[in-house]
A and B are shown apart, each in its own frame.
Chain A
Amino acid sequence: MSAPAHHRLAVDVGGTFIDYILLDERDGSVVIDKQPATASALADEFVRGLQRLPVAPSELSMFIHGTTVALNTLVQERGAKTALLTTAGFRDVLELGRAGRPAIYDLRYQPAEPLVPRYLRREVTERTAPDGSVLIPLDLDAVRTEVEFLAAHGVEAVAICFLHSYANPAHEAAVAELVRTMLPGVSVSASSELVREWREYERTATTVANAYTQPLFSRYAATIDARVSELGYEHGIAFMRSNGGVMTIAAAGGRPVETLGSGPAGGVIGAHALSQRTGIRNIVCADVGGTTYDVALIQDGEIVERSHTDIAGRPVMGSVIDIVSVGAGGGSIASIDPTSGSLRVGPESVGASPGPAAFGLGGELPTVTDAQVVLGLLDPDRFLGGRMKLDRERAETALSKHLGEHRDLTHLAGGVMAIAQANMANAIRIMTTQRGLDPRGFAMLSFGGGGGLFAAGVAEELGITSVLVPQAAAGFSAWGMLTADYREDATLTRVYDVDATSAPDLRDAFAGLAEQARASLVAYGFAPDALQTAFSADVRFRGQDHTITTPVEPSWLDGGAADLVAHLPGAFAARHRQRYGHGEDGAAVQVVTLRCRAIAPVTSPRTVGVFADTPAQPVAHRRIWFPATGWVEQVPVYEREQMSADDVLAGPCVLDEWTTTVIVPPGWTAALDEHGTAVLTHKQDDDEKAGA
């Protein structure tokens, strides 16, 4: 054994950059670095960045890897030559889909192309009933013939999805085994190994997405693993998952589909860690980038998840952090929409190149960043700690030229900000008010490069009075990855009436799922008594279709079944009332899908605040426009690192950090908590409360 390792490393591979964040577990200090990424030489660049870090891989205790390799493979449609084996009569399920489409007036609507061409979708004689009984036995000889056909065509991956396999996976398992034997070296994905939920199209699409991305992904993962081992890293790499947990390289190689939604997960699990640390149990998480505004929720101390998502027009089943993304950020373009005669902001963005007009890189279209320059919210001389100079004149020209030269410039710029913030607030409403939650009961955590610029404004729009902006807000997502736990999910679709008769079966089914989820983690080497297990069920009123995921307390499953029958229907009805305003307590309810998650917790890294010993003094003053007051002359600007633990700065003022600017509007105060997180608080006077 080598000397005790004290460092954790998270490496986040995105489309254009690889981000590294190295954390010293002893004092919580971090080192951040970046390396350009190109798809052709990803592994080499990965290693090059790694070797630049001040700590050798052999000194790492934990290595977390977030990657969009599978996502990019899917979105850019450059995956493996994939085949699909289906129940006879159903090879077209993948192409037929479900027919829904939000563009209801579009005469030329075209659904996403199936990832498997029709001639590689082969049918197998077999049939299982909804209750799992076998209606038509599996004809393995016929399967052999089909597999030979696929071998002749040189397929690299085979997906298997049979009807009702969630109820009985026996046929899928037998076929998977046969294909693995006959075609060694070909990736095989069986639906029941990925999701045990009903809805054949969604399950088939998920299985195909997995097969399609698997060869490329597992090659990549194996390469990274080998290279990092060569450099002396002694433990397994942990891969980020869509559900906010991590999994071993062995699991990731077989289930790349579970990494598809992992990109924005880091910030949300960081928020979860912050929730545990601060005791704030309800948090709206806002990741503010240049082009998108991503919203997630921590409710009652738990990350809000969903059980399916949509990627480039194709559904993917499986637990994923529920994130609503809108096209709003500094780069969002402002324009006059002739169809509505109103000022629109986004969803189109100028991107990094040419960027906002104020960047002076050739961009001419007015953006939110340009409006912020005009309003004084951004200081042209202090942008990115003075590393980039902004051109105020270009910003002004862009706004008046494209939005109306006869209109008042300040009004236009203020309008662009108001609409951008209204769009952001709407994204938060989708996550809160549309589900019967009052955003005023939440704190807002705002991070990303624009985290501090919009935070208070958006919060005010929603009546949120407490806003947190973490230290190094731009790197918060990467930091969050370091707090991820190992996690395995198990699900099962089977319809049960929640009554005394079926309660024992339900209890046994939950126990089976727990066993399954825990077994995977135990196989990774975690001690069984270190694991935490949580249950939930998708519940509906008898006669309804849509379900609400309702937590199931472990105590309801202990001993007699009466506890489950006594508690679950009421807990569900209460959620239904919260969300939809109606729901009888006594009505018959059914469980449709059972869910279990097992977690092997990882010790959360410490964070330390950096404080000055003396009260902060303004380093500059500038003129800024606020909606409530109009122009305010001489607004003080503070350096965040000069703030002491006792400082309470009254708005209007500005806190500057080199990666982000925090705006503290009139009516707000700013202070630092013990971890160095900036806490903005809105003082609502009685008049405002009455009006809200």
Chain B
Amino acid sequence: MNQHSRESVDIVKAEITRNALQSAAVEMNTTLVRSAYNPLIFDVKDFGVGVMSADGDLWADAPGLPVFTGVLPASVKSGLAKWGPDGIHDGDVFVVNSPYLNGTHISDTAVYMPVFHGGRLVAFTGSMAHWADVGGMSPGGWTVNSTEIYQEGIAFTHQRLLRRGEVNEDVFDLIAENMRVPHTVMGDLWAQIATARTGAERVQQLCDRYGADEVEALMAHVIASTERALRREVAAMPDGVLETGFRFDFSGVDREEVPLVRIRTTISGDRVEVSFEGTSKQSSGPINAGEQAVRATVAEALKGVLDPLGTANQAHLELADIIWPSTPSLVNPVKPAPCDSYGYLMTGVIETMQQSFAEVAPDRVRAGGYQMVSTYVMSTRGDAEDAYVFAEPVQGGHGAFPGHDGACMMFVTDGDCSNTPVEVLELRFPVRCDAFALETAHSGAGEFRGGAGVRRDLRVLQTGSMTKTASESTVDPIALGVRGGLTGAPTHVELVHPDGTLERVSERIVDRPVAVGTVVRQRTGGGGGFGAPAARDPQRVACDVRDERVTLEQARDLYRVALVPGTLPGTWDVDAEATAELRASARVHSASARERSTGI
């Protein structure tokens, strides 16, 4: 990374520089949230921002989606490779969303600009955000059954939105012409341009103060120091090989194709090697994830284990040595492989990988969390009375860890992603929410229980509406328990039709028409448990039953606690003697308890 010695660097200026760049990133974040038109950006915060060096190395990030921050530097590097430093000019603004360049899916569009100081390229600033639409066969993106990238939307590969500060009308025109909701997309596009400009101004001010050369040297020192600190953390862990992975339900298009991802992490001294060898070949369905997104996901998992609270820089992104399968696979697909549902792979990798560290770093990780899930309710046909797309990833449960039940209502593994309030969504969209509650049945039981899933019931109010759901890992859940804790139950959806019939669907639903009065009931996955359920404090189990988190039957059969009605209505007391008996027999059971097996 660099050879600056510790002593040649001014530690005071290093701190001020590091802080100034981080403040710049936070300010970019604020600019995007406050000026965007798309609820996926301003409410859900499905975006990331970054400040990068002239070589595209990450200098600073801000709360958003870690995977986006993780791939932005790679996006910039591919732009540099495409145009060359001489092809990039002051005032240019670029757009890129190709999964083969960014790694994420085509809806996630990066807008970035070079920062010049004294006529020299010194940095890049930019953001990646989920657009409301990018054309393609499925409104709002996240195609669940595409077979090639061309069906997923219009691809940008570092085209210039602005050329030396002048608006490139042709590109704007082309974008507006290809989107179902051009007003929203163009509003967001300008918000992203404003975001990059905000960051650029701050970088320029910093260079005014210290000079561009010194800023570069100071940040090289910061990144080198981070790498040393991370490697010390790795070295402190016992050497070992951690094997994990997960199997998909299916590819999205071919019922017979049930691909799997293998992850083998080798800790050796201060090195971490992550191998994906043995992962299934590139899929015919859109569950592939671009190499850069997988790289960012590995970085995110390692940062969560080694340095969970600090901000990220290039050292976090480059820590692991990654071994890729030698031929195109789920984790390194090539054009025109479909990639629109890449998020399952990403979530599966990070959840199973962090959980696998329980063997070497039990005090740093937790049991597995739920697989990501999104639900769409929308009306986009030409004859719709009022076209709308309500699309939102729905939160679920995190895994437990010693001393704590898992958190509920979390957005996949990481990220500062909020939900849309019921009162806001009911005013904005022709849907009504009948319930928004904990799905307690999805928690993985344990001495410390996995977080609950989320129930949200949406009633369709407008004719010509349809629904789409994006769920995965329902056969082989990724919310793995640790040390006897049970695995969290996966997501499913229930459609309650106007005639009262109930249809339970575990798999993805593709753009299916729904009549007015239909209720789309989401039931998202819960987190895995930590420790055997029969080891849970009986008093806590009594409270769990009182609070309707655990049923009386579960208390008896799973947690091995006998309860009798308490003096106050709805409360329960522990029958200590009967509980002791139940627990004595439980020890016999646990010897033969089924351990989760992925068959990997």
Contacts and interface: CB of A to CB of B under 8 A. Distances in A.
Given A422-B15, A580-B35, A581-B194, 11 more contacts: A96-B395, A99-B411, A100-B416, A119-B548, A129-B426, A130-B423, A338-B225, A339-B229, A495-B427, A545-B43, A581-B197
Interface stretch (A86-94, A300-308, A558-566, A679-687): A86-94
Contacts of A102: 63, 416
A621 interface: no
Interface residues of A, number: 74
Interface string B50-76: 000000000000011110000000000
Interface in B193-228: 194, 197-198, 208, 221-222, 224-226, 228
Interface stretch (A107-115, A390-398, A476-484, A508-516): A107-115
Contact of B407 (A111, A118, A201, A411): A111
7 contacts: A163-B423, A200-B421, A343-B12, A543-B37, A545-B424, A581-B198, A582-B194
A551 interface: no
Contact of A96 (B312, B365, B409): B409
B427 A105 contact: no
B180 interface: no
B19 A110 contact: no
A622 interface: no
Contacts of A95: 408-409, 438
A180 to B, nearest CB: 22
A384 interface: no
Interface stretch (B297-305, B321-329, B490-498, B577-585): B297-305
Contacts of A429: 23
B243 interface: no
Interface residues of B, number: 98
B9 A341 contact: yes
A130 B427 contact: yes
Contacts of B65: 104
Interface string B22-37: 0100010011011111
B187 interface: yes
Interface in B282-298: none
Interface string B377-395: 0000000000000000001
Interface string A569-588: 00000001001111000000
Contact of B569 (A91, A92, A152): A152
Contacts of A545: 39, 42-43, 424
Contacts of B9: 341
Contacts of A89: 433-437, 457
Interface string A277-302: 00000000000000000000000000
A339 B230 CA distance: 8
Interface in B120-162: none
A119 B437 contact: no
A104 B548 contact: no
Interface pairs A-B: 4 shortest CB-CB: A341-B225, A415-B12, A89-B435, A342-B15
B305 A107 contact: yes
Contacts of A105: 66, 300, 303-304, 307-309, 312, 414
B276 interface: no
A90 B435 contact: yes
A385 interface: no
B265 interface: no
Interface in B386-424: 395, 398, 401, 404, 407-411, 413-419, 421-424
A167 to B, nearest CB: 9
B89 interface: no
A103 interface: yes
Interface string B101-132: 00000000000000000000000000000000
Interface string B421-452: 11110110000111111100000000000000
Interface in A375-425: 411, 414-415, 418-419, 422-423
Contacts of A430: 23
B570 interface: yes
A311 B310 CA distance: 22
B354 interface: yes
Contacts of A152: 568-569
Interface string A327-349: 00000000011111111110000
Contacts of A109: 398, 407, 410
Contacts of B422: 90, 93, 163, 200
Interface string A188-208: 000000000011111000000
Contacts of B42: 544-546
B14 A342 contact: yes
A48 interface: no
A471 B336 CA distance: 72
A429 B26 CA distance: 12
Nearest to A544: B37
Contact of A422 (B16, B208, B549): B16
Contact of B417 (A100, A129, A581): A100
Given A104-B416, A341-B9, A495-B427, A110 B404 contact: yes
Interface of A: 88-93, 95-111, 117-119, 129-130, 135, 149, 152-153, 163-164, 166, 198-202, 336-345, 411, 414-415, 418-419, 422-423, 426, 429-430, 433-434, 495, 541, 543-546, 576, 579-582, 691
Contacts of B31: 580
A96 B411 CA distance: 12
Nearest to A548: B34
Contact of B437 (A90, A149, A344): A90
A96 B436 contact: yes
A202 B422 CA distance: 12
A314 to B, nearest CB: 14
Given A105-B300, A119-B547, A340-B222, A419 B12 contact: yes
A167 B179 CA distance: 35
Contacts of A90: 422, 435-437
A426 B19 contact: yes
A91 B437 contact: yes
B35 A198 contact: no
B11 interface: yes
A495 to B, nearest CB: 7
Residue among B16, B354, B435 having the largest count of chain A Cβ atoms under 10 Å: B16
Contact of B421 (A98, A110, A118, A433): A98
A99 B417 CA distance: 6
A104 B414 contact: yes
Given A107-B305, A119-B547, A580-B194, A99 B395 contact: yes
Given A199-B421, A199-B424, A339 B416 contact: no
B407 A340 contact: no
Contact of B11 (A107, A200, A415, A546): A415
Given A104-B416, A119-B546, A338-B229, A580 B34 contact: yes
Contacts of B407: 109-111
A547 to B, nearest CB: 9
Nearest to A407: B11
Contacts of A418: 12, 16
B523 interface: no
A93 to B, nearest CB: 6
A339 B307 contact: yes
Interface string B530-566: 0000000000000100111100000000000000000
B508 interface: no
A200 B229 contact: no
B45 interface: yes
Contacts of B308: 103, 105-108
A342 B34 contact: no
Given A107-B365, A434-B27, A419 B16 contact: yes
A579 B34 CA distance: 9
A109 B457 CA distance: 27
Contact of B438 (A92, A100, A103, A419): A92
B104 to A, nearest CB: 16
B271 interface: no
